[in-house]
Structure 1
Amino acid sequence: ITTNGFNLFNKIDEFYSAGLDALNISIDSLNPSMFKLITGHDKLTYILKGIDRAIELGIKDIKINAVLAKQFNKNQLNDFLDWVKHKKVTVRFIELMETGNGATFFEQNHLSGQSVKTQLLAQGWLQVVRGKLNGPAEEFCHPDFEGRIGLIMPYSKDFCKSCNRLRVSSLGKLHLCLFAEQGIDLRPHLNAQDMPATVNAIQAAMGNKTISHELDKRLTGATTHLAMLGG
């Protein structure tokens, strides 16, 4: 499940009993004041309690997503490092990505994940070999830390080379890339409950999956904001 974690502490036992074994939680800052500024809610304490309970229950695949942004969390790497010292979670720093209506915000806040990678390597962190079926994050481990750090850097060279991701939006459209010009409508097949036709449509679309997005050229496709693709 992917969640903001606001109600996690109250629900995690129920979720675990139902078979939940993996969590993705958004936490852009471990500073309560900054977290409230970013989200508009004073919920950080409750989220952290929920994560601690998830660890107690034995959920091993817990990922924390934090979007890098100059004006908000540029200098908070050490806060996250201190946190994962004795906590078996993976904190993944995600580079801010430009969208159609977010050019100004992007210009003011984009921070390269490479600077974080340089700091990690200088502090003795080691890059983990990525499996073929793993996601886009580069992960790092350290012998003195229980947790890990991940970096998702869509502006880095060859980021898209090993892409194995597709997304189906809440409108039933297949997006080969977050920044594609348009989605491919699967609704007629889905509404007809025609799974062979759905599979054929997806397989046919894969032949047109381009090698790379063009974010480096500031071309964001049809994506005006990421929420529009809630898949």
Structure 2
Amino acid sequence: MSAIPVTIGRRVPVSAASADVGVSAAAGVAAPAATIGAPLVDTHGRVHRDLRISLTDRCSLRCTYCMPEQGNEWLAKSSIVSLDEIVRIARVAAADGITTFRLTGGEPLLRADIVEVVRRLAAITGPGGRPVEIAMTTNGIRLAELLPGLVDAGLDRLNISIDTLRRDRFHALTRRDRLDDVLAGIAAAAASGLRPVKLNAVAMRDVNDDELVDLVEFATGHDAQMRFIEQMPLDAGHTWDRSRMVTQDEILATLRGRWTLTPVPGRGGAPAARWLLDGGPHSVGVIASVTAPFCGDCDRLRLTADGQLRNCLFSATEYDLLPILRGGGEDGQVDGMLRSCVHGKLPGHAINDPSFLQPVRGMNAIGG
């Protein structure tokens, strides 16, 4: 079975090699051979510990910065990775040093077997019997209903998306009148034992930038951490406009009108830089992927719902695991594909480079 990186858009194989060596489409060089259990280290010295697993490309909302309202081309059901396939990949990844599995989508709570996905992933251990951490990013719809089962199954952490607290804006942004369901999900998370609970908002000029303080106050009232995200070029319609993006500096300037902000050191590979609010205990985070990229510390890989490995949100190359999973391949070949993907990782995403090209896939198809 060959390790085949694929250029997205044309979906054309660009190179192949034995699965225990691997080839980087981005670098054009063979990855060093390794056995299951060796750390996943790229050519820039970054050790990978986080695998984001997209369970579906479908979503119960149609956020304007992510998906068109109609005309979406969904992944074929036959191409969606099964629970057994997810667990198989995760076991190899955990043996290679992955310590966190984050479940994303689309909307992961739309997956019918979501509780069992969490249960089986939570049972995986890494070297020396080390437990893994199971996190989830969700829009919160169905969370109030499903959270008790998810916690019982082993869910450790939650990120919930909420871009506005105003019903009219929520409807306009998501094209769905589901704010009450999201608020119920946040309330359920606040009442649970899961900590930290993080609330995510994409900051958009003349859309919700007048709600930044309100969102932080809402989050602290629910013992949650608010995190603002600079809008990135990941919409399926490719309509991203840098001028509509609210920058990290603008976000912090607005918040400093209400709180004293103190930087929290020791960010590591976390995507959000954090600041204490009036000395703590509450904090706010900003994910500034455009104006303050954190690529040098990135420790994440992504698995799409149709079995493609990605080493960056903005990558033009994917590494297809389905032929291995469904063609009688061995775990060593899964490991080889993980290493090929890691080996092909570039130093950064190059959003600010004039030659940057937006990924063909939208965020819902890549996985958050």
TM-score range, shorter chain: 0.7 to 0.9
Match of 2:333 in 1: 197
Give the number of the structure with larger relative contact order, counting CA–CA contacts within 8 Å between residues 6 or more apart.
2
Moved over 6 A (4+): none
1:23 aligns with 2:23: no
CA distance 1:20–1:100, shift in 2 (3 Å): closer
What does 1:1-231 align with in structure 2 at a 5 Å threshold? 1-99=136-234, 102-107=237-242, 109-121=244-256, 123-132=259-268, 134-143=269-278, 147-191=282-326, 192=328, 194-217=330-353, 219-230=356-367
TM-score by length of 1: 0.87
The TM-score normalised by the length of structure 2 is 0.57
Partner SS, residue 336 of structure 2: helix
Q: 1:100/1:85 Cα in 2 relative to 1: closer, same or farther (>3 Å)?
A: closer
Distance in 1 (alpha carbons) for counterparts of 2:357 and 2:249: 21
Gapped runs of 5+ residues in structure 1? none
Equivalent AA in structure 2 for residue 229 of structure 1: I
Structure 2's unaligned 5+ residue stretches are 1-135
Name whichever of 178-187 and 102-111 sits farther off. Answer: 102-111
Residue 131 (structure 1) shift: 4.3
Letter matched to residue 307 of structure 2:
G
Higher helix share: 1
Change in CA separation of 1:105 and 1:73 when aligned onto 2, cut-off 3 Å: same
**CA contact 1:87–1:147 (8 Å) conserved in 2:** no
Distance 1:210 1:73, change over 3 A: same
Larger Rg computed on CA atoms: 2
Q: Contact 2:203–2:231 (CA<8 Å) still a contact in 1?
A: yes
Q: Supply the RMSD in Å over aligned alpha carbons.
A: 2.4
CA distance in 2 between counterparts of 1:230 and 1:101 reads 12
Q: Does structure 1 retain, via aligned residues, the 8 Å contact 2:274–2:285?
A: yes
State the identity as a percent: 28
Deviation at 1:125, TM superposition (A): 1.5
